[in-house]
């Protein structure tokens, strides 16, 4: 399964701005921004940004939730 793509981050002072396909996804400030910058150096930046923004799902959750088989859950 391919990993997430399309994420970029920029530093603005002490803040970190994460974008996804050109649109702003989130802004990290303070301790979260510092921790993010440390983690980016150690791991896969795309995966990390997807997890931080909550955009690590594949997009079919809403469709699955509305499927008749899953009614009442």
Q: What is the pLDDT of residue 4?
A: 79
Domain assignment present for residue 69? The answer is no
> How large is the average pLDDT for residues 42-57?
84
Residue 40 has pLDDT above 90, yes or no: yes
Candidate from 8-12, 39-43, 54-58 with smallest mean pLDDT:
54-58
Domains: count for the chain:
1
Domain assignment present for residue 64? The answer is no
- Mean pLDDT (the chain) is 84
Residue 27 sits in which domain range? 7-59
> Which are the contacts of 20, defined by CB distance < 8 A and separation ≥ 6?
6, 7, 49, 53, 55
Q: What is the pLDDT of residue 5?
A: 86
Residue 52 sits at the vertex; the CA angle it makes with 50 and 54, to the nearest 5 degrees, is 65
Domain assignment present for residue 39? The answer is yes
């Amino acid at each position: 399964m391919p990993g997430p793509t399309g994420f970029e981050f920029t530093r603005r002072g002490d803040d970190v701005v994460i974008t996804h396909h050109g649109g702003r996804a989130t802004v990290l400030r303070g301790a979260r921004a510092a921790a993010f910058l440390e983690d980016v150096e150690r791991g896969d930046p795309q995966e990390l940004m997807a997890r931080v923004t909550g955009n690590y799902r594949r997009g079919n959750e809403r469709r699955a939730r509305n499927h008749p088989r899953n009614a009442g859950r």
